[in-house]
Amino acid sequence: MTTNVKLAIDPERLQRAFGILQHWLDEGIVTAVASVVVHRGQCVGEFYGGSIAPTPGAPPVNGSSLFHIASIGKPMTAFAVMLLVEAGRIALDDPVAAILPGFSGATRASITVRQLLTHTSGLPQDPDRSQLPPDASTSDELRTYIHASPIASPGSKVEYSNVGYGVLGLIIEEVSQKPFATFMHEHVFAPAGLHDTWLAPPDDLFPQIVHVGGTLDPGSPAERFNSTYARRQTHPAGSVLATAQDVARFFQMMLNHGVRNGRQVISPAAVRLMITNQTAGLHGGIEGFMTWDDCAWGMGFDLRGTKHPHFSGEFTSSDTFGHTGVSGVFAWADPALDLICVMLANRTLFDLWNVSRWSRFSTAVVASLTTA
């Protein structure tokens, strides 16, 4: 495809793509879904289906519905770190131990901020919570990460790590001298115009939060995603709630080189680094879900690179950047097509229901682009 070919969305083809989401609902694969497609900075299609909760009389999903976007929040955390980098507060190759003195000893001493951002620190995917009560606060949990031991040599592979992103949250707090959630709201969400994006949303917004199916501890007081406890967590690796439109706005800001509504929220240089491959030639990915021999990753963003299969489908370019979330969500942006696709559903990925389905939907979305 040549770059001078002018493409436009065919509304009929896009509705055909959205029909795939309707089939998921009809088949009971998910019970709630929201999707937004943006082309050349304009919203060209939205789909909302299902209901907020799997109970009789629950309100239908709409544009105000708040989804647990889980790890789509990681690029937002990375964005916050890059704000500190561009302000000269920290450097990407600073040892973490120089910022967090307790993070020292053994191979921890060599881990850098860059490695945390790119999942090459060697820290484990999930924390050891065995010594924590089920209702431990985010703050109490994160403090234990100071002592986490790498399970792979730093820099040797892409070892997707929620622990690493928790440590990034500690770095943000230490450098900014503000709680993580406060920094995110003041320096990321508000400047980016993400007015329906939250960490620990107020209780009066709880009726807008979509219930997540397939959790491993349904009905427990600390049930992941659905309990009051979970909704009040502020974990840097995956506690953000947002509307589909707000997720699309965040990705559009990245396509706009850090500009939102005429304001330079983050520098073009920082954006470029975030969406440039930092892990060329390294094996890895998300253990238990999907790994690749050459696992392209940026600063916070999963990059398409040469990955096959990939949630962004068959037709996206190698420069496509995005992220997925274990709550059943994904978002990607393809700079070559100037196209954004956000799909927020509500079923955890532990049974791998998403494999192939996500790719098929993304492919159908890209196929809705036709010559104008």
pLDDT score recorded for residue 2: 41
Collapsing DSSP states into helix, strand and coil, what is residue 259? strand
* Token couple for 200: 């620990």
User: What is the second-level CATH architecture of the domain 7-371?
Assistant: 3-Layer(aba) Sandwich (3.40)
Considering only CA atoms, which of 49, 63, 40 is closest in space to residue 247?
63
Give the strands of the sheet with 241-242, arranged side by side. Answer: 67-68, 241-242, 197-198
Instruction: Please name the helix (run of DSSP H) or strand (run of DSSP E) that holds residue 143, with its range, or none.
Output: helix 138-144
Instruction: Quick: pLDDT tens for 197-226.
Output: 999 999 999 999 999 999 999 999 999 999
Which amino acid appears at position 175 of this protein? V
Cβ contact 317:369 at 8 Å: no
Specify the pLDDT at position 130.
Answer: 85
Residue 64 to residues 32, 34, 244: CA-CA distances in angstroms? 13, 10, 9
d(CA 188, CA 206): 22
Residue type, 291: T
Given a cut of 50, the residues of the chain with pLDDT beneath it are 1-2
Dihedral angle, C-alpha 172, 178, 183, 186, nearest 10 °: -150
Please give the pLDDT value at position 105: 83
Long-range contacts of 351-356 (CB under 8 A, 24+ apart): 351/214, 352/289, 353/29, 354/311, 354/324, 354/328, 354/330, 355/290, 355/309, 356/309
According to the model, what pLDDT value does residue 3 have? 53
Strand partners, 112: 95
Residue 71 DSSP one-character state: G
| Whole-angstrom distance, CA of residue 72 vs CA of residue 354 | 16
What are the start-end ranges of the H helices in 39-89? 73-86
Contact 160, 287 (CB under 8 A): yes
Structural domain boundaries in the chain: 7-371
CA atoms lying within 13 Å on the CB side of residue 69: 32
- Tell me the CA end-to-end span of the chain in Å, nearest whole number: 14
Cut 0.75: pTM above it? yes
DSSP string, 147-213: GPPPSS-TTSSEE--HHHHHHHHHHHHHHH-S-HHHHHIIIIITTTT-TTEESS--GGGGGGBPPPB
8 Å CB contact between 113 and 93: yes
At residue 7, φ and ψ (nearest 5 deg) are -115, 150
> Quick count: other Cβ atoms within 10 Å of Cβ 10?
16
